[in-house]
Amino acid sequence: MSIRLTQTVQKGGCAAKVAAKELRKILGGVEFPPAPPELLIDGRHFDDASVHQLTPELALVSTLDFFTPIVDTPRLFGRIAATNALSDVYAMGGRPITALGILAFPIATLSNEVITEVMQGACDALKKAGATLSGGHSIDDDTLKFGLSVSGLVHPAKIWSNQGARPGDVLILTKGLGTGTLTAALKREAVTELEIKEAMDSMTSLNNAIDWLEPLGLTSAIHAATDLTGFGLLGHAMQLGRASGIDLEFRFSQIPILSGALEMIKQGFLTKAHRTNREYVDDSVDWIGSPLSDEARLLLFDPQTSGGLLLAVAPESADAVVNALPFARPIGRVNERALTHQTRIQITQ
């Protein structure tokens, strides 16, 4: 298979998301069916998944995620797509159990071998997560799109969401930033997958923080959580701030950055989402102290694919959580909301 998947699509990964501002306008015009009391979490706060209570001790986590190719290797694309979809369940404090595949495939231009490899990559990720592929749906389409609808389980009293951050909480990030610009460079053939291996490894690493924290009794220290995808660090952080009724503060020097990301931004490898994410958030951001370069600012709007979890953690447990997770960094804190109806985000050096 010599085909490069990134050359078959105009945009790839979570950078292909509908812009956040536009999405809010669209959803604002929809009259949703009444929600039953068992639906504990729905989409009103832009959370990562819905949660429906089944019994007093069991709730179902449901999510769906798919996108166009972000890398060239079919199996790697499948694995990234699956890891990204699984992340929504982990962001709710749940564990995935089953997944259904969503596939759009150009039968006339891509061989069956390509999609077999994509599916195998997804199954590799599901196996690592202890989940299984239980079915799916496919259509013949002009461009390849793939993803999963994932179901998971969580105790109703142990749900994580983006609504519970408290003033004083420490903000912890579990992966470095920069997948948007690095994969934009890959699509334009400025780098190879091998040259951005750190980003490839990051996008295929499970966000299974629950598996690391639960044995240590640290799950209750997570007051709020969200996973970073197409709206970038500041876009998803703002949604967490709005849902929780708080302000946030980030220290740029503490934010982990994937190798080569700032250089690729400097060279102009950007996506449409860099601009739309900036438009979505910029009016809510206060840049404090020494000015950040434009490249540094753009990194905070970089659309992540299979990005890390952003966790709001009780301050007395923050060090223990950082030490428990393989690649976690404290990057900021939660503050009381200064303005009644608006979340503010402060960025310092």
Instruction: Render 26-69 in DSSP notation, one character per residue.
Output: HHHT--PPPPPTTEEE-GGG--SSEEEEEETTEEEEEEEEEE--
C-alpha 100/C-alpha 63 separation (Å) is: 10
14 catalytic residue (yes or no)? yes
DSSP, collapsed to helix, strand or coil, labels residue 347 as: strand
Crossing angle (nearest 10°) for helices 272-281 and 232-244: 30
Cα 153 from chain centre: 19
- Are residues 233 and 171 in contact, defined by beta-carbon separation less than 8 angstroms? no
Residue type, 89: V
C-alpha 303/C-alpha 42 separation (Å) is: 23
Q: Which of 213, 216, 215 is nearest to 225 (CA)?
A: 213
58-67/145-154 β-pairing:
antiparallel
Q: What residues contact residue 272 under an 8 Å CB cut-off, 6+ apart? A: 11, 15, 19
The CA–CA distances, whole Å, from 165 to 34, 231, 251, 286 equal 27, 19, 18, 20
The dihedral sign for the CA sequence 127, 130, 135, 141: negative
C-alpha 250/C-alpha 285 separation (Å) is: 10
Catalytic-labelled residue, pool 9, 14, 186, 191: 14
- Are residues 309 and 174 in contact, defined by beta-carbon separation less than 8 angstroms? yes
- Are residues 148 and 81 in contact, defined by beta-carbon separation less than 8 angstroms? yes
The catalytic residues are: 14
